[in-house]
Amino acid sequence: MKFTAFEIYKYAIPMVPFTIATGTMDFAQNIFVRAHTDSGLTGVGECSAFPMIVGETQNTCYELAKDFAKLWKNKDALDLDARLAELDLFIARNYTIKSAFDMLLYDLAAKQANQPLYQFLGGEKRKIETDITIGIATPEAMAQTAIQFKAQGYNMIKVKLGKNPVEDVERIKQIRNAIGPEIKLRLDANQGWTYDDAVFTLQNLAPYNIQFCEQPMRTYNDSLLPKLCQLSPIAIMADESVYTHHDAERIIQNKAASYINIKLAKSGGISEAIKINQIAEQNGIHCMQGGMLESRLALTANVHFAMAFKNIVFFDLDTCLLGHKIDPVIGGCKYNIAQLEIQDTPGIGADVDQSYLDGLEHIVI
């Protein structure tokens, strides 16, 4: 099965502004790729650029997508290893746009096998329950949002922190007091704290029953993570510190985290995510399936992946609940409050409404 053409779209999705420690996003900077083959099957892939985290923008992803399409045209779509190796030989890193092309390869392979993606990856259906995230605001506003989420039926809340340590402690104090002890609370500092800030904040948050804290410091402080893990009463989860399985090996060997957050758009896609999870599982480290600001298309691929690997026990798959103003996806997973449900359609089982795509900047290679 050979590639014959690629449609590449600047798949922007307007959203309610969402603030984390590194900045504010008011639209999802996504790329959508639809690949055609001589067998008649089409494969789809999506990535979500988060410039403050990964160093890629929608524009850089769009330009590289053109190069990748030219590189793959007329080549075997089912030789996954060869195709992905070509991308790595063509350019280092740039994992976000690579993840969209990785995704369409797996979509095609699963369709060729007439299997839903989770089954193609060796998994079976299981319960996937996401948390819901509160962006950074005043402690009072964040507490009110937490109350609303509890009323809507969410059992797990992730709270963005990383601005001011004293205010961050107050944010969690007010949230916990507002929602009571039953709701699970998770933190994500998005590299916002210094080492001293992290020690202060995590130790002062000990009374509030926190499940874990993601990425407390900048990645250049990874050498300080082992010491922080020893001092923190709250488990540390590595996110931006783990892009590849080599990073996972380093973090685990250094005892620098209790958990790892896997994101397809951060790590280059499904192929690399499998390796990260495998290394984590071999070392007794559980993983979380996370995301950037994907539409329900890439979200569905994330759900398939999470279902396929039982070592992934935490799920942060609320991207489409964080204020996307448009949902142009056809098929794909559905939210039942916090539960994510998928059908057994071959492949990812989702596509994007062509009438929406027609209004976007795009190119056909």
The verdict on whether 67 is a catalytic residue reads: no
Rounded to whole angstroms, the Cα distance separating 284 from 253 reads 12
Rounded to whole angstroms, the Cα distance separating 317 from 208 reads 24
Which among 160, 168, 247, 294 is annotated as catalytic? Answer: 160
Which among 131, 188, 272, 351 is annotated as catalytic? Answer: 188
Q: CB neighbours of 273 closer than 8 A, spacing ≥ 6?
A: 262, 264, 267, 305
The verdict on whether 127 is a catalytic residue reads: no
The verdict on whether 75 is a catalytic residue reads: no
Which among 102, 263, 266, 272 is annotated as catalytic? Answer: 263
The verdict on whether 160 is a catalytic residue reads: yes
41 token code pair: 């099957």
Q: What is the dihedral of CA 287, 204, 166, 227, to 10 degrees?
A: -60
Residue 6 CA to chain centroid, in angstroms?
24
Which among 107, 222, 239, 318 is annotated as catalytic? Answer: 239
Q: CB neighbours of 232 closer than 8 A, spacing ≥ 6?
A: 198, 199, 202, 203, 213
The verdict on whether 26 is a catalytic residue reads: no
Is the distance from CB of 5 to CB of 364 less than 8 angstroms?
Answer: yes
Which among 102, 107, 197, 214 is annotated as catalytic? Answer: 214
* Angle between helices 95-112 and 296-308 in degrees, nearest 10: 70
Q: Cβ atoms within 10 A of the Cβ of 316, count?
A: 23
Rounded to whole angstroms, the Cα distance separating 91 from 56 reads 13
Rounded to whole angstroms, the Cα distance separating 4 from 43 reads 12
Helices (H), the chain: 51-54, 58-72, 80-90, 95-112, 117-120, 139-152, 165-179, 195-204, 225-231, 245-253, 264-267, 270-282, 296-308, 354-357
- Cite the active site residues: 160, 188, 214, 239, 263
